[in-house]
Amino acid sequence: MMVNKKNQVAVIGAGPAGCAAAIQLKRYGLDVILIDKEKIGGLARNANFIENYLGFPKGISGVEFCYKLEEHLKHLEIETVKDEITNLSWDKSQDQFVANSKKNQYNCKSLVIATGTKPRRLSLKGEEELWKNGLLFYEPAKMLEKLFFNKKIAIIGSGDAAFDYAINLANRENHITIITRTKDYKSLPLLVQRATESKFITIKPNQVIKEFAAKKEKEEVLLIVKTKSKEEIVADFILVAVGRDPNHIPSEVKFDKFVKENRVCFVGDLVNKNERQISISSGQGIRCAMRIAEEILNI
Ligand SMILES: Cc1cc2nc3c(=O)[nH]c(=O)nc-3n(C[C@H](O)[C@H](O)[C@H](O)COP(=O)(O)OP(=O)(O)OC[C@H]3O[C@@H](n4cnc5c(N)ncnc54)[C@H](O)[C@@H]3O)c2cc1C
């Protein structure tokens, strides 16, 4: 059944940026709806341990942090919807934005777009097929839902995410091989040190991946990461963490004018190139909510 909803403000994306915006908008008494295609919390769900967010002196796991966000939204009775927005348009006659999903239509006067990032693919032979078969992943959250234990996992990448994912999965006694292109890891040295100290993690530098393959051995599927130097790394699962790109929703709306008028805001990792942090995203969410509220309420 098609739902046609009308709110003053629609926030798309319930990661830290969108949650912060929705919370601040609600504090102004505005009628806000928060839409996300996945669970509340966004990318932070994948973080092993968040140690730099104020108010948590002993740190907090990504999953727990997401529960806190959910609790905060519930406490303030913020309307949340699980839905994927596939297109944005502008209805001139009604002076409103329209966010469409496959089934529903959300109409609003102002719009916060906090859709974060999407994982970069390597686009190598075998990659898509393994991904479709649930053997290759781009984020660990879905793997952790299935309670992976004692598995061989090959992680490709050398940034913060690759090392953080490795430490996260090694905590469950999985055997991790981090495969990197060079020896110059892009990750925070602290994470590299923790990975190096773990007996469950091996780092294999200077490897350029050529393709992925799978073979069946006694009812078991084994994955093979083939490198250009003819190495073959065998694993039960593969996790690709080679960077993330902005995740824009298709739209023909010329947003510049509306951004200047404080009716539309793009916030969070979506617009932050190298400075992707929860505090930065949530700060941007709060600031954009203040600007939108000033505009709507004329304060
Ligand atoms: C492994 C790892 C560890 C990290 N550790 C830390 C840390 O310790 N400290 C720190 O500050 N930061 C950390 N970060 C970074 C932090 O997670 C991000 O900066 C933060 O989550 C960005 O928030 P955001 O709201 O901008 O975007 P996101 O968290 O990416 O949220 C975007 C949301 O939009 C939704 N969405 C996207 N498209 C649509 C659509 N079309 N329709 C509906 N919904 C949509 C997505 O489902 C998602 O929930 C870490 C990141 C990773 C990967």
Nearest 10 degrees: CA dihedral of 89, 92, 96, 99? -10
Q: Looking at residues 42-56, what average pLDDT do you find?
A: 96
DSSP strand pairing (152-156 vs 175-179): parallel
Answer whether 42 contacts ligand 1 (Cβ < 6 A): yes
pLDDT digits (tens, 9 = 90+) for 85-96: 999 999 999 999
Say if residue 160's pLDDT is above 90: yes
Quick one: average pLDDT of 25-31?
97
Q: For 41-45, 198-202, 228-232, which range has the lowest pLDDT when averaged over its residues?
A: 228-232
Ligand 1: atom nearest CA of 43 is 29
State the DSSP code for 273: S
- Name the strand (E) or helix (H) holding 39: none
Check if 227 has its Cβ closer than 6 Å to any atom of ligand 1: no
Secondary structure (3-state) at 102 = coil
Q: Which CATH number belongs to the domain containing residue 126 in this structure?
A: 3.50.50.60
Compute, in angstroms, the gap from residue 276 CA to the centroid of ligand 1.
Answer: 8
| Other Cβ atoms within 10 Å of 231 Cβ, number | 16
Q: Does residue 207 carry a pLDDT above 80?
A: yes
Better-scored residue on pLDDT, 6 or 22? 22
Are 45 and 69 members of one domain?
Answer: yes
Task: Name 221's bridge partners.
Answer: 216
Q: Which amino acid is it at 228?
A: K
- Whether 236 and 251 share a structural domain: no
Domain count within the chain: 2
Segment 50-60 mean pLDDT: 97
**Among residues 75, 9, 16, which one has the least CA distance to residue 276?**
16
In this structure, the answer to whether residues 28 and 76 fall within a common structural domain is: yes
Residue ranges with strand state E in the chain: 4-12, 32-36, 79-82, 87-91, 96-100, 105-113, 117-119, 136-137, 152-156, 175-179, 201-204, 209-217, 220-227, 232-235, 237-240, 244-246, 264-266
99 and 149 assigned to the same domain: no
For residue 149, report the phi and psi dihedrals to the nearest 5 degrees. Answer: -135, 145
Q: Residues 228-254: what's their mean pLDDT?
A: 95
Q: Evaluate whether 279 touches 126 at the Cβ level (below 8 Å).
A: no
> Is any ligand 1 atom within 6 A of the Cβ of residue 110?
no
The Cα 281–Cα 289 span in angstroms is 12
- What's the mean per-residue pLDDT of the chain? 95
The mean per-residue pLDDT over the stretch 195-215 comes to 96
The strand pairing partners of 60, in sequence order, are 50
Residue 218 is predicted with a pLDDT of 83
Residue 148 has pLDDT above 80, yes or no: no
Contact in structure between 80 and 36 (CB atoms under 8 Å): yes
Percent of the chain with pLDDT over 90: 90
pLDDT confidence bin for 111, thresholds 50/70/90: very high
Q: Do 95 and 22 lie in a common domain?
A: yes
Q: Do residues 33 and 106 lie in contact, with contact meaning Cβ atoms separated by under 8 Å?
A: yes
Instruction: Report residue 147's pLDDT band, with 50, 70 and 90 as the boundaries.
Output: low
Using pLDDT thresholds of 50, 70 and 90, give the confidence band for residue 255: very high
Q: Give me the mean pLDDT over the 280-292 stretch.
A: 98
The letter for the amino acid at 257 is K
Q: Tell me the whole-structure pTM to 2 decimals.
A: 0.96
Angle, in degrees to the nearest 10, between helices 189-197 and 160-170: 30
The residue segments making up the domain with residue 259 are 4-118+245-297
In this structure, the answer to whether residues 51 and 197 fall within a common structural domain is no
Reported confidence tier of residue 149, pLDDT bands at 50, 70, 90: confident
Q: How far is the CA of 228 from the centre of ligand 1 (A)?
A: 33
Q: Are residues 175 and 253 in the same domain?
A: no
Ligand 1 centroid distance, CA of 122 (Å): 21
Indicate whether 212 and 195 sit together in one domain.
Answer: yes
Cβ neighbours for 153, distance < 8 A, ≥ 6 positions apart: 143, 169, 174, 175, 176, 177, 235, 236, 237, 238, 239
Give the domain-ending residue among 227, 242, 257: 242
Residue with the two structure tokens 């999965």: 169
Mean pLDDT value of segment 69-75? 98
- Better-scored residue on pLDDT, 170 or 3: 170
Phi, psi (deg, nearest 5) at residue 137: -125, 165
Same-domain pairing of 255 and 283: yes
User: Could you tell me if the CB of 81 is within 6 A of ligand 1?
Assistant: no
Query: Which residue's C-alpha comes closest to atom 9 of ligand 1?
Result: 50
CA atoms of 24 and 159, how far apart (whole Å): 33
Same domain as 90, residue 125: no
State whether residue 93 is helix, strand or coil. Answer: coil
Helix 16-27 × helix 62-75 angle, to 10°: 20
The reply to whether 35 and 10 lie within a common domain is: yes
Amino acid letter at 229?
A: S
Count the Cβ atoms, other than its own, within 10 Å of residue 36: 24
The answer, yes or no, to whether any atom of ligand 1 lies below 6 A from the CB of 238, is no
Mean pLDDT in residue range 270-291: 97
* pLDDT exceeds 90 at position 249: yes
State yes or no: pLDDT of 210 exceeds 80.
yes
13-18 mean pLDDT: 98
